[in-house]
């Protein structure tokens, strides 16, 4: 596949960020991508977007790469859910994470509107931090 054909299809299909109906009445998005997506496409999109979110975390949280893997996964999950700018407002949570104070990190996560909003997801992430705290592993 060449860049030339990609550009041609982009020109022919046009870009639509929001779903629309094509001339045959098919629900479509992007450059003529039919909806619904199949599961493989959905996973590709998830992995792609997670990569973008993680890249943004690396650029905005200077200690991110020094965090234990499970804690990075918690922060990545939170950022994917709410966006990096909103995660950055969790100053006490992030300060505790930087110190390797997992108990305080878990407490600060629970003491948030986000925790009450997302329910089971937040409970699982807090439990991950709490279990990790028992391992007494600190930032490298």
Are 81 and 49 spatial neighbours (Cβ–Cβ below 8 Å)? no
According to the model, what pLDDT value does residue 139 have? 46
Residue given tokens 């790469």 in the structure block: 65
Q: Cα Rg for the chain, rounded, in angstroms?
A: 20
Return the structure tokens found at 71. Answer: 């804690």
Q: What angle, rounded to 10 degrees, do the helices at 69-82 and 39-60 form? A: 110
- Confidence band of 132 (pLDDT split at 50, 70, 90): confident
Return the structure tokens found at 78. Answer: 């939170």
pTM for the complete prediction? 0.88
First to last CA, the chain: 43
Digit-coded pLDDT (tens) for 41-97: 999 999 999 999 999 999 999 999 999 999 999 999 999 999 999 999 999 999 999
Are 118 and 81 spatial neighbours (Cβ–Cβ below 8 Å)? yes
According to the model, what pLDDT value does residue 134 have? 61
Partners of 30 in the β-ladder: 16
Digit-coded pLDDT (tens) for 101-128: 999 999 999 999 999 999 999 999 999 9
Return the structure tokens found at 53. Answer: 């979110």
Q: Is 89 helix (H, G, I), strand (E, B) or coil?
A: coil
């Amino acid at each position: 596949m060449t860049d030339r054909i990609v550009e041609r299809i982009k020109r022919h299909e046009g870009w639509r960020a929001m779903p629309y109906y094509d001339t045959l009445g098919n629900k479509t998005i992007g450059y003529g991508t039919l909806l619904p997506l199949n599961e493989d496409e959905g996973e590709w999109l998830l992995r792609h977007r997670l990569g973008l979110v993680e890249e943004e975390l690396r650029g905005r949280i200077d200690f991110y790469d020094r965090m234990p893997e499970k804690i990075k996964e918690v922060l990545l999950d939170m950022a994917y859910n709410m966006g990096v700018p909103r995660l950055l407002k969790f100053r006490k949570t992030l300060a505790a994470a930087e110190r390797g104070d997992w108990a305080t990190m878990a407490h600060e996560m629970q003491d948030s509107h986000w925790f009450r909003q997302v329910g089971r997801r937040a409970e699982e992430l807090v439990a991950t931090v709490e279990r990790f705290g028992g391992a007494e592993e600190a930032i490298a």
